[in-house]
């Protein structure tokens, strides 16, 4: 697994909820001087550090009951619908290890707030577990990768894997799965637009066709060749770079808008490109995946 980029590790959020109590409740003024139903404020070491990119930890009466576990609120203050992926760290007791839980909240509209329970880990309050928000990523809902089982109108699903790292060399795979009808043809390299933490275009990075100039034997060498996908088949492309840092500012591009071929709808994935100061990213051509054996 590729380790988290240094910039991300330095920004690890201190937001923590100890699952043994209830969050703070605040009453809003209602009509005719009355009080509206109580609303929930984040609960953690302090409200200021319990929120990260619109995601807040809450618990107790403000969300699920204490026996249910931790809850969180996602508030979209932007101008477009966003799909959020939140990475939580669940710490139990005083041990050094912690579980990592990743959860997606799809299509949160502008000005909308939604509350969810942290899933995928035992977060019942009686365990004394602590939940932290370690990372939040949000992409435009119209460009979010579709979950398995839901075929988008384009007929393709595009995802990025967790990647590998060794001695400063980074490799991430981009995978396209065809879920439409008929056939889907590819011939070339995926188009990439790199985006920073604020989803703004990253400049000054040279995108190379092929990965040989980054390192050999990565699977992204060789020219493109035409290929055809039947429903259920997939193709992959390799991204490779070196996380070398020297003079200048290191470049981090968490997001990438991927275009499978000219004219295709863009999909925004989160490959977490910690490009250092090299200013280069190698992109391999699409290659058809071998059928998986049972």
| Residue-number span of the structural domain to which 260 is assigned | 145-288
What H or E segment, with its residue span, contains residue 178? strand 169-178
- Asked if the structure places residue 208 within a domain, the reply is yes
109 domain residue, yes or no: yes
Tens-digit pLDDT profile for residues 261-275: 999 999 999 999 999
pLDDT at residue 292, as a whole number = 67
Q: Is the pLDDT of residue 149 over 90?
A: no
pLDDT band at 225 (very low <50, low <70, confident <90, very high): very high
pLDDT digits (tens, 9 = 90+) for 95-137: 677 888 999 999 999 999 999 998 865 655 455 678 889 999 9
Number of domains in the chain: 2
Residues 219 and 178 in one domain: yes
One domain, residues 195 and 80:
no
Please check whether residue 76 lies inside any domain of the structure.
yes
23 pLDDT band, cuts 50/70/90, is very low
Element (H, E) at 10: helix 6-10
Q: Which of 142, 172, 206 is the last residue of a domain?
A: 142
CB atoms within 10 A of CB 177: 21
Q: Nearest-5° angle of CA 39, CA 29, CA 117?
A: 5
Tell the residue number behind the tokens 């020219």, with chain if given: 223
CATH code assigned at 23: 2.60.40
| 73 within a domain of the structure (yes/no) | yes
Flag whether 111 is in a domain. Answer: yes
Q: How confident is the model at residue 234 (pLDDT cuts 50, 70, 90)?
A: very high
119 and 191 co-located in one domain:
no
Average pLDDT, the chain: 80
Domain stop point among 119, 142, 165: 142
Range in 15-29, 156-170, 212-226, 227-241 the model is least confident about:
15-29
Residue 24 has pLDDT above 80, yes or no: no
Instruction: Single out the residue in 96, 114, 142 at which a domain terminates.
Output: 142
Q: Are 175 and 269 in contact (CB under 8 A)?
A: no
Query: What is the model's pTM?
Result: 0.79
């Amino acid at each position: 697994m590729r380790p988290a980029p240094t910039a991300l590790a330095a920004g690890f959020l201190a937001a923590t909820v100890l699952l043994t109590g209830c969050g703070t409740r605040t009453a809003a003024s209602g009509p005719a001087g009355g009080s509206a139903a109580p609303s929930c404020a984040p609960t953690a070491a302090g409200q200021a550090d319990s929120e990260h990119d619109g995601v807040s930890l809450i618990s107790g009466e403000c969300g699920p009951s204490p026996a249910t576990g931790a809850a969180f609120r996602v508030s979209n203050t932007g101008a477009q619908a966003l799909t959020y992926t939140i990475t939580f760290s669940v710490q139990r007791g005083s041990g050094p290890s912690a579980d990592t839980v990743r959860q997606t909240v799809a299509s949160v509209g502008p000005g909308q707030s939604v509350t969810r329970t942290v899933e995928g880990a035992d977060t019942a309050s009686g365990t004394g577990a602590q939940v932290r928000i370690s990372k939040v990523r949000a992409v435009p809902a119209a460009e979010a990768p579709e979950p398995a089982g839901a075929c988008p109108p384009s007929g393709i699903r595009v995802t990025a894997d967790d990647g590998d790292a060794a001695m400063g060399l980074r490799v991430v795979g981009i995978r396209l799965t065809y879920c439409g009808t008929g056939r889907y043809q590819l011939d070339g390299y995926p188009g990439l637009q790199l985006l920073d933490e604020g989803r703004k275009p990253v400049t000054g990075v040279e995108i190379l066709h092929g990965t040989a100039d980054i390192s050999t034997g990565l699977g992204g060498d060789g020219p493109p060749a035409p290929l055809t996908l039947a429903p259920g088949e997939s193709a992959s492309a390799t991204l490779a770079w070196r996380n070398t840092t020297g003079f200048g500012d290191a470049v981090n591009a968490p997001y990438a808008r991927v275009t499978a071929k000219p004219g295709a709808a863009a999909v925004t994935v989160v490959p977490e490109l910690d490009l250092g100061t090299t200013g280069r990213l190698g992109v391999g051509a699409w290659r058809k995946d071998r059928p998986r054996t049972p």
